[in-house]
Amino acid sequence: MDTQRITGAARQMGGRLRRVAGDSGYRARQSAEDVYDEALDLGARAMRQARGHAAHLADDALEAGQALYGRSSAALSRQAGEHPLVLIAAAALTGAAIAWLLSSSSQRR
């Protein structure tokens, strides 16, 4: 009788331990899933913020490039207006250089 009581108590204790272990395993899994979901949300939020910052940087770079292009075009126009002979000479030299390059490449063939 004592053996049966001890065996029954051990089985009952084992069942309780299994239930406690199952509950704690479920809670641990649920906690891990919650942490995973939170990390996923944080990552998505960081991605959206980075994308927004990159778009702002690209817009700023475009505006700066357009402003620089406008200033350089104005400066070139002003210089061409002040020194038209230099502009004509530069264009003639550029044309001569291109003609020389094209003629030398056709002679090699």
Give the integer Cα–Cα distance in Å for 51 and 7: 65
> Does residue 29 fall inside a structural domain?
yes
Confidence band, pLDDT 50/70/90 cuts, at residue 1 = low
Q: Which two tokens stand for residue 100?
A: 């020389």
> Does residue 87 fall inside a structural domain?
no
Across the chain, mean pLDDT equals 84
> Does residue 101 fall inside a structural domain?
no
Higher pLDDT, 1 or 49: 49
Which pLDDT score, from 0 to 100, does residue 63 have?
A: 96
> Does residue 109 fall inside a structural domain?
no
Which pLDDT score, from 0 to 100, does residue 26 have?
A: 72
Q: What is the pLDDT of residues 28-80, one digit of tens each?
A: 777 888 888 888 888 888 999 999 999 999 999 999 999 999 999 999 888 88
Our count of domains for the chain comes to 1
> Does residue 88 fall inside a structural domain?
no
Give the integer Cα–Cα distance in Å for 22 and 5: 25
Which of 11-20, 32-41, 93-102 is the least confident region? Answer: 11-20
Q: For 77-84, what is the mean pLDDT?
A: 86
> Does residue 104 fall inside a structural domain?
no
Give the integer Cα–Cα distance in Å for 108 and 103: 9
Q: Whole domain around residue 26: which residue ranges?
A: 2-81
> Does residue 67 fall inside a structural domain?
yes
Q: Look up tokens 């700023």; give the residue.
A: 60
